[in-house]
Amino acid sequence: MTHTTYSFADVSFTMSHPAVGSFTFTGEGVGTITVTMANDVTQHDLAADGSVMVSKILAGNGSIALAIQQTSAGHKWLKKWYNYVKGAPTAEWAKASAVLKNPQLGDQITMSGISPQKRADVGFQAAGQQVTWNMMATTING
């Protein structure tokens, strides 16, 4: 019987911005990383006679959701990045890029034109928790 293996320890997510520097998320304080494409890449048009016209749509934008512990170094870096782009000239807003890698599975996803969808929500309670950073990317490949 064959088996496969997976470990989040094999995953790295490196985000960078020319004015803020870069940070590599390697599992420390990370809960989940989700990359979502925003649009369908195919569409079907059905004619009255039943024939189907298939359209290939070149869409590559999407979103990134990064759930991390509120005390993590990654959360601190994202707050620094957010505060910088919020107050910087508009040209700086979407200059961030990222690479998500899992060599064990052969996955590499590159993202560019990243901007914050909003600052992560902040909650305070008896126990610490995760916060989710939602970002948008103009281009996602991989």
Write the DSSP assignment of 91-121 as a string of letters.
GGTT-EEEEEEETTTTEEEEEEEEEEEEPPP
Under DSSP, is residue 51 helix (H, G, I), strand (E, B) or coil?
coil
- Considering the chain, what is the average pLDDT of its residues? 95
Q: Mind listing the pLDDT tens digit for each residue in 100-129?
A: 999 999 999 999 999 999 999 988 889 989
pTM value is: 0.88
1 vs 53: CA distance, rounded Å: 44
Beta strands (DSSP E) in 1-142 are: 12-17, 21-25, 30-37, 42-46, 52-56, 62-69, 96-102, 107-118, 130-137, 139-141
